Amino acid sequence: MSLVSLRTFDPAPAFVDAELATLSPPARVGEFELDLELRHAGLRRVRIRYEINGDIRHPTVFVAGGISAGRHVAANAADAADGWWDAQVGAGRAIDPSRACIVSVDWIGADGTLDAPIDPADQADAIAALLDHLAIGRLDAFVGSSYGAMVGLQFASRQPARVARLVAISGTHRAHPYSSAWRALQRRAVQLGSLQCDAIDGLALARQLALLSYRTPDEFDERFGAAQVVDGRVRVPSEDYLDHIGQAYAMRTPVTAFLRLSESIDLQRVVPGSIETPVTLVAIELDRLVPVADAYALAQGLRGETRVRVLRSRYGHDAFLKEPAAIAAVLAEALELPA
Mean pLDDT to the nearest integer, 177-196 = 95
CATH number of residue 322's parent domain? 3.40.50.1820
Query: Do 162 and 185 contact (CB within 8 A), yes or no?
Result: no
85 domain-assigned: yes
Answer yes or no: do 162 and 117 share one domain: yes
Residues with catalytic roles:
146, 287, 317
- The CA distance from 172 to 169, in Å, is 8
Q: What is the mean pLDDT of the chain?
A: 92
Chosen domain end from 265, 293, 322: 265
What tens digit of pLDDT does each residue of 34-67 get?
999 999 999 999 999 999 999 999 999 999 999 9
The tally of domains found in the chain comes to 2
Decide if pLDDT at 17 tops 50. Answer: no
Residues 256 and 323 reside in one and the same domain: no
In a shared domain, residues 186 and 320: no
Identify whether residues 51 and 63 lie together within a single domain. Answer: yes
Q: How far is CA 98 from CA 58, 89, 332, in A?
A: 8, 10, 15
Full residue range of the structural domain in which residue 184 is found: 177-265
* The pLDDT of residue 263: 98
Question: Cα Rg for the chain, rounded, in angstroms?
Answer: 20
In this prediction, residues 232-248 reach a mean pLDDT of 95
42-53 and 27-38 beta bridge pairing: antiparallel
pLDDT band, very low/low/confident/very high, at 338 (cuts 50, 70, 90): low
Could you read off the pLDDT of 251-290 as tens digits, one per residue? 999 999 999 999 999 999 999 999 999 999 999 999 999 9
pLDDT band at 339 (very low <50, low <70, confident <90, very high): low
Residue ending a domain, choose from 248, 265, 282: 265
Residue 2 inside a domain? The answer is no
Q: How far is CA 320 from CA 147, 226, 238, 269, 282, in A?
A: 12, 29, 22, 22, 9
- If asked whether residues 128 and 105 sit together in one domain, one would say yes
Indicate if 207 and 300 belong to the same structural domain.
no
Share of the chain above pLDDT 70, in %: 92
pLDDT in tens, 71-120: 999 999 999 999 999 999 999 999 999 999 999 999 999 999 999 999 99
Interstrand relation of 306-311 and 279-284 (parallel, antiparallel or unpaired) = parallel
Among 215, 236, 265, the domain-final residue is 265
Look up the CATH number of the domain holding residue 216: 1.10.1740.110
Does pLDDT of 134 surpass 50? yes
